[in-house]
Amino acid sequence: MIKDIQNTIAATLLSFKLILCLNDNWETYLRNGVYVVREVEKREVDKMLSCMDPEKGHSVYMCCECGKTKVVPHSCKSRICTVCGKKHADEWAEKINKEMYAVPYRHIILTVSDRLWPYFEGNASLQKLMLDTAAKVMKDIVKEHNGKDKKAEPGIIMVLHPFGRDLKTNMHVHMLMTEGGLSPKGKWIPMAYIDYRVI
């Protein structure tokens, strides 16, 4: 019982919404102006902060037999909401799954030195550069490792994770890369395993 209560408290303490609400953190962050906050980011955070707030919108259901009513607050459907975001993630995963080739894939994680992380925080252009560089590095490695006789482009799906499980900064890229690729003529060419030490 005590363990369950501790887990619930820990989960609550790690809520992104709670972190932004405490001590007016979100408003303070906006006022400080350290990073440029895009309008889409403001909208998504505002939606998340109002998630499940009956004053921001709700539906009322009434039992026709007993007359009891139940108020159900509306969810925000924001991608960054810890409650609603899972639905977006599931839908995205399902969409990607339908578009993927039925071939072997390898999960690769790439990162940069933690000394460079502050430069990437809040900088969309550097984050894009990190993704582009990760893709180029892996394509170059595949090209070099498999030789001239196997000219093929691997398929890569990437996601930038700007933080770790503890919600502290930890810039890294998750990649799903095909173990093979398409030739310029569209023919599938399987590729040899690449030793992680090469990467």
* Same-domain pairing of 32 and 112: no
Domain match, 115 and 166 both: yes
Global pTM exceeds 0.75: no
What domain count does the chain have? 2
3-state secondary structure the chain: CHHHHHHHHHHHHCCHHHHHHHHHHHHHHHHHCCCCCCHHHHHHHHHHHCCCCHHHCEEEEECCCCCCEEEEECCCCCCCCCCCHHHHHHHHHHHHHHHCCCCCEEEEEEECCCCCHHHHCCCHHHHHHHHHHHHHHHHHHHHHHHCCCCCCEEEEEEEEEEECCCCCEEEEEEEEEEEEEECCCCCEEECCCCCCCCC
Does residue 115 sit in the same domain as residue 158? Answer: yes
Please indicate, yes or no, whether residues 52 and 105 belong to a single structural domain of this protein: no
What does the pLDDT look like over 25-75, one tens digit per residue?
899 989 988 878 888 888 888 888 888 888 888 889 999 999 899 988 888
The answer to whether residues 112 and 153 belong to one domain is yes
Residue 6 sits in which domain range?
Answer: 2-73
Q: Which of 38, 55, 73 is the last residue of a domain?
A: 73
* pLDDT tens string 144-192: 777 666 678 888 999 898 877 666 788 999 999 988 888 888 888 888 6
User: Could you tell me if 112 and 59 lie in one domain?
Assistant: no
Asked if residue 195 belongs to a domain, the reply is no
